[in-house]
């Protein structure tokens, strides 16, 4: 990255930050739209992937804010269809990970994405406290966070009967290390899980 692009050691634009932290060069995008054409969720996004790249290319603070407040970055499934077909091999999924984490850090998450974020938090909490995903606990925790108390209630008994749900969590032995891993990685930026 060129020196003039930095200001007091902070990347001047979001695109610079992406390049510095993930190595993904936003400038490479020539707006062919192949990612948006193939994205299974493009129609459900507020800005399709190629448009996100275009907004970032401008370096315009207003547009960058729109990117960080977008629903797109949360509804992206990381299915990697975009990178599989991108002629410029721009790793959009990697960029999306960074944008999500930046959006969390700046507290600019999209209101429509609240459920998705709550789910992720519940998920990571479950791992943090038991080492593995405790599905029953995850669902209960997610419901408590999202207040979607009735969602999937019809499924639970059926799932239990079919042997899909454990009532009690399984705890792994290495839990102290797991806690250390969580605290070390949250110190190093990124979302403090839980």
Partner 1 sequence: MKLGFYPGCSLEGSAREYAESVIAVAGEAGVDLEQVPDWNCCGATAAHNMNRNLSLALPARILAKAEAAGMKEIVVPCAACYNRLSVTRHELLENESLRREISATIEYDLRCDAEILNVLQMLDRHVMPAIGDKIRVPFARRVACYYGCLLVRPHKILKFDRLEDPQSMDAIIRKIGGDPLDWAFKTECCGAGLSVSATPLVGKLSGRILDDASIRGAEAVIVACPMCHSNLDMRRPHCDKAMKKHYTMPVLYITQAIGLALGIDPKTLGLHRHMVPVKFEKHPADAASARPAPPDAVKEV
Partner 2 sequence: MSRIGVFICHCGENIGATVDCERVARACAGIPGVVHSVDYKYMCSDPGQNMIKDAIRDHNLTGVVVGACSPRMHEPTFRRACEEAGLNPFLCEMANIREHCSWVHEKSEVTTEKAIDLVRVIVEKVRRNKPLFPIKVPVTKTALVLGGGIAGIQAALDIANAGHKVIMVERSPSIGGHMSQLSETFPTLDCSQCILTPRMVEVARHPNITLHTYSEIESLDGFIGNFKVKIRKKARSVDEKLCTGCGLCTQKCPTKKIPSEFDAGLGMRSAIYVPFPQAVPNKPVIDRLHCTFFLKGKCRLCEKVCPTQAIRFDQEDTIVEADIGAVVLATGFDIKHADFFPEYGYGAYKDVIDGLQFERLASASGPTLGEIRRPSDGRKPETVVFIACAGSRDPAKGIEYCSKICCMYTAKHAMLYRHKVHGGKAYIFYMDIRAGGKMYEEFVRRAIEEDGVRYVRGRVSRVYEREGKLIVQGADTLLGAQPVEIEADMVVLATAAVANDGAEELAQKMHVSYDAYKFFAEAHPKLKPVETNTAGIFLAGACQAPKDIPESVAQASGAAAKVSALFSQDELTREPVIAVVNRCAPPLYSTCVGCFLCQAACPYQAIEKEEIRARDGNLIKTVAKVNPGLCQGCGTCVAVCRTKAIDLQGFSNEQVFAEVMALLNRSEANAGI
Contact 101, 190 (CB under 8 A): yes
How far is it, in rounded angstroms, from Cα 145 to Cα 89? 38
Strands 10-11 and 6-7, by their bridges, are: antiparallel
User: Is residue 11 classed as helix, strand or coil in its secondary structure?
Assistant: strand
CA neighbor of 56 nearest in space, from 22, 16, 94, 104: 16
Question: % helix / strand / coil in the chain, to the nearest 5?
Answer: 60, 0, 40
Helix (H), strand (E) counts: the chain: 11, 2
Give me the least distance between CB of 58 and partner 1, in Å please: 25
Residue 173, interface with partner 1 (CB under 8 A)? yes
Binding site for partner 2 (CB under 8 A): 30-39, 42-43, 47-51, 81, 85-89
Mark 133-162 with x for binding to partner 1 (rule: CB under 8 A) and - for no binding: x-x---x--x---x----xx--x--xx--x
How far is it, in rounded angstroms, from Cα 27 to Cα 34? 16
Give me the least distance between CB of 65 and partner 2, in Å please: 18
| Residue whose CB is less far from partner 1, 19 or 75 | 75
| Residue whose CB is less far from partner 2, 43 or 168 | 43
Residue 41, interface with partner 1 (CB under 8 A)? yes
Give the H/E segment covering residue 119.
helix 114-130
CA neighbor of 18 nearest in space, from 47, 52, 45: 52
Using CB under 8 A, which of 31, 58, 170, 179 touches partner 1? Answer: 170
Residue 174, interface with partner 1 (CB under 8 A)? yes
Residue 106, interface with partner 1 (CB under 8 A)? no
Q: Which residues bind partner 1 (CB under 8 A)?
A: 40-41, 44, 74-75, 77-81, 83-84, 91, 93, 97-98, 100-101, 104, 115-116, 118-121, 123-124, 126-127, 131-133, 135, 139, 142, 146, 151-152, 155, 158-159, 162-166, 170, 172-174, 177-178, 180-182, 184-186, 188-191, 193
């Amino acid at each position: 990255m060129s020196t003039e692009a930095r200001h007091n050691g902070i990347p001047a634009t979001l695109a610079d930050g992406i390049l510095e932290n993930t190595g993904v060069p936003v400038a490479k995008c020539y707006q062919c739209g192949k990612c948006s054409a193939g994205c299974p969720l493009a129609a459900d996004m507020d800005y399709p992937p190629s448009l996100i790249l275009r907004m970032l290319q401008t370096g315009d603070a207003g547009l960058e804010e729109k990117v960080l407040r977008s629903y797109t970055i949360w509804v992206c499934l990381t299915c990697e269809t975009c990178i599989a077909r991108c002629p410029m091999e721009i790793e959009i999924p990697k960029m999306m990970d960074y944008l999500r984490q930046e959006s969390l850090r700046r507290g600019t998450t999209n209101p429509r994405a609240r459920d998705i974020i709550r789910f992720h938090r519940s998920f990571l909490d479950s791992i943090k406290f038991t080492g593995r995903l405790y599905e029953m606990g995850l669902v209960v925790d997610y419901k408590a966070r999202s207040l979607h108390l009735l969602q999937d209630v019809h499924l639970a008994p059926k799932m239990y009967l079919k042997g899909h749900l454990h009532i009690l969590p399984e705890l792994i032995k290495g839990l102290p290390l797991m806690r250390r891993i969580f605290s070390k990685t949250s110190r190093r930026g990124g979302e403090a899980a839980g």
